[in-house]
Chains A and B, each alone.
Chain A
Amino acid sequence: DQQVKQNSPSLSVQEGRISILNCDYTNSMFDYFLWYKKYPAEGPTFLISISSIKDKNEDGRFTVFLNKSAKHLSLHIVPSQPGDSAVYFCAASPGGTSYGKLTFGQGTILTVHP
């Protein structure tokens, strides 16, 4: 039972263009969503998050959109840079006393070509 899914194993974009990474979830109890970036031999690094009471959060080149009715979120990177090449994970957490129990998607490998 995969509660968080990233259906695209990989994505390739040209430097300067937009990268859009998608994530779907099934559990209505999820209250908080996070995106992580991971380089080889390192732990995941926090990128951006969004609460279920919002539909958009922006931080520099990174924007996360949340569509609760569709149980879908996406990460937009504009403009994409070669240094953005990494594995991107979306993660979801319930709220309240269950906060912090992150459920991760399988990850999407992003490659940004110069």
Chain B
Amino acid sequence: EAGVAQSPRYKIIEKRQSVAFWCNPISGHATLYWYQQILGQGPKLLIQFQNNGVVDDSQLPKDRFSAERLKGVDSTLKIQPAKLEDSAVYLCASSLPPGAITAGYGYTFGSGTRLTVV
């Protein structure tokens, strides 16, 4: 089974520039998540999609961050304009719905995109 795919792996941009990250979840996983992991901290949920609808974006800084999931499969996360404090690893994850037999509901993370804002 292919895992969660993310690209690019690394990105360096100057502050005030824009950047976009791409995620392709595991086939059959209806739920997709974006997390931000700042160095030395645990991942923090930014947004959760169920198919192509947003379930929760309460922790997404909407003045500069946006995300979409077209056709309920791939997703993109965009930052515009970037700030120095946006430097972090951006992780995408996908999962099966509650009640799935698989332990942990198949909640699987991609390898992430490491963003450095200079």
Contacts and interface: CB of A to CB of B under 8 A. Distances in A.
Physical interaction between A and B: yes
Interface of A: 4, 34, 36, 41-46, 48-49, 59, 89, 91, 95-96, 98-107
Contact of B42 (A46, A48, A106): A106
B42 A95 contact: no
B61 interface: no
Residue among A44, A99, A103 with the most chain B CB within 10 A?
Answer: A44
B44 interface: yes
B111 A102 contact: no
B88 interface: no
A10 B45 CA distance: 24
Interface in B73-117: 91, 93, 95, 98, 103-105, 107-112, 114
Interface of B: 4, 31, 33, 35, 40-45, 48, 55-56, 91, 93, 95, 98, 103-105, 107-112, 114
Contacts of A101: 45, 48, 56
B103 A49 contact: yes
